[in-house]
Structure 1
Amino acid sequence: MPSATLRIARPTNDLQKLKEFYTKALGMRIIGSFENHAGFDGVMLGLPDCTWHLEFTHQHGVSVDPAPSTEHLLVFYLPANEEWDATVKKVEGAGGVRVQSENPYWDAKGVTFEDPDGYRLVLQNASWP
């Protein structure tokens, strides 16, 4: 599927808080949004020239539970030390809370943060593959 675009979507109770976090922490841009579409509000966040983006939605009148486990991860591989260090500082400046990873693999070459919903974001100072 070389022409596919990947959208990672998840619900939230606070669209504004997540939008602010991911735009400040990772420099993502709003690439789309909607209000009251069949009872849902949402925002899509992405980075230039990427074939993936994040979508956060809120269903009117519905409250979602926090992250189901500490192993729900969004991992970014940043092999350049300077870019990795700058991104770690940016996430901290945006209110990212450092946490110990459930899997020690991620702590060996990376830093794990919790986003405002309690989902985990890993900044891995390595390349893939």
Structure 2
Amino acid sequence: MFTHMRIARPVINLDNAFLMYSQGLGLKKIADFSDHQGFSGIMLGREDLPWHIEFTVCHHHPVQPLQTNEDLIVLYYPDKAEWEQTCGRMRSAGFTPVSSFNPYWEVNGRTFMDDNGYRVVIQNQAWG
């Protein structure tokens, strides 16, 4: 049985991650923790979503974010106006538009990179 999904990623700066993802994707802080066994973190999501994103910082042994051009979070926006608004918010929040490594995502989507190098695809179509 599927209940909920968490995407966990190390970042350099929790405040920047919070600002970018809350402003760009409209996510809210749903939980946070400070210096829990050497880690601090924040979880962003919404009550209507079956997933959330957790960003963490390790205080004792800093972890550098590692990613590839194919490590993606893909979000589907079938409504064109909502898709365009979301792409605009992503740019305003500080995400950098980048070319997708996989040309499939260029057909109906836009790929954005955050300040840790993580990529988010805003796809203008329905899932499935």
The question of a shared fold, defined as TM-score above 0.5 by the shorter chain, is answered with yes
Tell me the CA shift for residue 10 of structure 1: 1.2
Aligned to 2:84: 85
Alignment of 1:68-83 (within 5 A): 68-83=67-82
What is the aligned-residue identity percentage? 43
Give the Cα–Cα distance (whole angstroms) in 1 for the partners of residues 36 and 73 of structure 2. Answer: 27
Aligned to 1:6: 5
Give the Cα–Cα distance (whole angstroms) in 2 for the partners of residues 23 and 10 of structure 1. Answer: 15
Aligned structure 1 segments of 4 or more residues deviating by more than 3 angstroms = none
Alignment of 1:23-42 (within 5 A): 23-42=22-41
Aligned to 1:122: 121
User: Normalising by structure 1, what TM-score?
Assistant: 0.95
Asked if 1:58 corresponds to 2:92, the answer is: no
Aligned to 2:107: 108
**Counterpart contact for 2:10–2:64, Cα < 8 Å:** no
Give the Cα–Cα distance (whole angstroms) in 2 for the partners of residues 111 and 48 of structure 1. Answer: 25
Instruction: Give the stretch that moved more between structures: 63-72 or 108-117.
Output: 63-72
Give the Cα–Cα distance (whole angstroms) in 2 for the partners of residues 102 and 65 of structure 1. Answer: 22
Structure 2 residue matching 1:45: 3-state secondary structure? strand
Give the Cα–Cα distance (whole angstroms) in 1 for the partners of residues 49 and 68 of structure 2. Answer: 27
Tell me the CA shift for residue 12 of structure 1: 1.1
Structure 2 residue matching 1:82: 3-state secondary structure? helix
**Counterpart contact for 2:7–2:53, Cα < 8 Å:** yes
The number of aligned residues is: 128
Aligned Cα root-mean-square deviation (Å): 1.0
Query: Which runs of no fewer than 5 residues in structure 2 stay unpaired?
Result: none
Tell me the CA shift for residue 63 of structure 1: 2.7
User: Normalising by structure 2, what TM-score?
Assistant: 0.95
